[in-house]
């Protein structure tokens, strides 16, 4: 495994506009390619990509845009629905976005003539994170600077509403147990809610603030990671409500934390966009230093590929993709 590897991205994809957010589809969609969505100032692009790491006859990256959807306002967040299928007739593309006008849009497309969206309104401040329930895809959870976490059904009705003590920064659904939701607050508290009783069942405390991003490890749901202040923090919720491991990581304050989808030891962090570049790092829990470092011209967004140790970040008219070892 390479130590202190400062590298250029393995692949780049040219885009027409600034990319604010990028998300690989985390669900199996019935096609060998991998769906990816990215959002700009007034559009969302749905693409499909295949990499040489998974297909021997592909040289580097094979990328194709499937659909560009007009959004009308800056895209701040994207969440894929598990109902997305490429192997159905017609195909089903389903995802939701959060936007700078404080609204959530639920998009459905068949990649041909049907391109619809429904608006979900209720938040009164910036929406920081949103996610579909991963089992059925029948509900969406969102958190906001308005100190709330809201659960919505696909008709746009709110089915639950949790009042938070500070801005909600991240929300994650348990991959198997549909009634468990994790909400991370800027004040440094991460709470787990039972969606049956609508009660908080467990909380974790960060010793650093502000907490900017947290993520539930899908390979081991006892593990939670976050970035707060300049540090990354890892909890083992079976052991303690305080972090097991903490390490300073970004000089200019840390911004995003994402676990790899294929390893419980691999995660990525980004620093706050500086005047010219954003710092990006991949970490392995067995190694004292980042195993990969890169920088992106004003990067934003961070997403791991579903089956490869590969990370995507948006930026100025391009997507940057880094590959590491597990």
- Does the pLDDT value for residue 1 go beyond 60? no
Question: pLDDT (tens digit, 9 = 90+) per residue, 236-291?
Answer: 999 999 999 999 988 878 999 999 999 999 999 999 876 556 689 999 998 989 99
pLDDT attached to residue 321: 94
- Kindly indicate the confidence band of residue 5, based on its pLDDT and cuts at 50, 70 and 90: low
Cα separation, 134 vs 267, in Å, equals: 20
- Does the pLDDT value for residue 3 go beyond 60? no
Question: pLDDT (tens digit, 9 = 90+) per residue, 197-231?
Answer: 999 999 999 989 999 999 999 999 999 999 999 99
pLDDT attached to residue 279: 86
Question: pLDDT (tens digit, 9 = 90+) per residue, 102-148?
Answer: 999 999 999 998 999 999 999 999 999 999 999 999 999 999 999 99
% of the chain beyond a pLDDT of 70: 96
Give me the domains of the chain, ranges plus CATH numbers.
Answer: 8-121+299-325 (2.130.10.10), 125-248 (2.130.10.10)
Cα separation, 131 vs 144, in Å, equals: 13
- Residue by residue, DSSP assigns 146-214 as TSEEEEEETTS-EEEEEE-SS-EEEEEE-SS-TTEEEEEETTSEEEEEETTTTEEEEEEE-SSS-EEEE
Sign of the C-alpha dihedral computed for residues 198, 199, 204 and 205 taken in this order:
positive
- Does the pLDDT value for residue 75 go beyond 90? yes
Q: Do the strands 104-109 and 115-120 form a parallel or antiparallel pair, or are they unpaired?
A: antiparallel
Q: Are 205 and 164 in contact (CB under 8 A)?
A: no
Question: pLDDT (tens digit, 9 = 90+) per residue, 28-66?
Answer: 998 878 999 999 999 999 999 999 988 888 899 999 999
- Does the pLDDT value for residue 160 go beyond 90? yes
- Kindly indicate the confidence band of residue 172, based on its pLDDT and cuts at 50, 70 and 90: very high
pLDDT attached to residue 270: 93
- In sequence order, what are the residues at sequence separation of 6 or more whose Cβ sits closer than 8 angstroms to the Cβ of residue 245? 233, 234, 285
pLDDT attached to residue 297: 72
pLDDT attached to residue 275: 56
Question: pLDDT (tens digit, 9 = 90+) per residue, 139-148?
Answer: 999 999 999 9
Give the other-Cβ count within 10 Å of 294's Cβ.
Answer: 24
Farthest CA pair distance, the chain: 52
pLDDT attached to residue 2: 39
Structure tokens, 103? 């609204």
Q: Are 262 and 243 in contact (CB under 8 A)?
A: no
């Amino acid at each position: 495994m390479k130590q202190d590897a400062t590298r250029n991205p393995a692949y780049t994809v040219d885009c027409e506009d600034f990319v604010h957010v990028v998300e690989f589809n985390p669900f199996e969609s019935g096609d060998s390619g991998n769906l990816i969505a990215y959002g700009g100032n007034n559009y969302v692009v749905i693409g499909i990509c295949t990499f040489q790491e998974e297909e021997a006859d592909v040289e580097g990256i094979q990328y194709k845009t499937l659909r560009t959807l007009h959004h009308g306002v800056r895209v701040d967040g994207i969440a894929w629905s598990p109902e997305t299928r490429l192997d159905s007739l017609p195909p089903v593309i389903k995802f939701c976005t959060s936007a700078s006008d404080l609204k959530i849009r639920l998009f459905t497309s068949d990649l041909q003539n049907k391109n619809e969206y429904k608006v979900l309104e209720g938040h009164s401040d910036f929406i920081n994170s949103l996610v579909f329930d991963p089992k059925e895809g029948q509900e969406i959870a969102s958190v906001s600077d308005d100190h709330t976490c809201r659960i919505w059904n696909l008709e746009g009705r709110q089915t639950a509403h949790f009042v938070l003590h500070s801005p909600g920064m991240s929300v994650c659904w348990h991959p198997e147990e549909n009634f468990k939701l994790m909400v991370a607050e800027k004040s440094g508290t991460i709470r787990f809610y039972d969606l049956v009783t609508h009660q908080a069942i467990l909380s974790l405390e960060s010793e650093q603030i502000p907490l900017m991003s947290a993520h539930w490890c899908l390979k081991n749901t006892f593990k939670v990671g976050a970035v707060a202040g300049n540090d990354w923090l890892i909890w083992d919720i079976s052991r303690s409500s305080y972090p097991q491991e903490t390490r300073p990581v970004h000089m200019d304050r840390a911004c995003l934390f994402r676990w790899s989808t294929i390893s419980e030891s691999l995660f990525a962090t980004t620093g706050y966009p500086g005047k010219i570049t954003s710092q990006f790092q991949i970490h392995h829990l067995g190694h004292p230093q980042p195993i990969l470092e890169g920088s992106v011209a004003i990067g934003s967004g961070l997403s791991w590929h579903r089956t490869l140790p590969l990370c995507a970040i948006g930026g100025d008219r391009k997507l940057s993709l880094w590959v590491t070892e597990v």
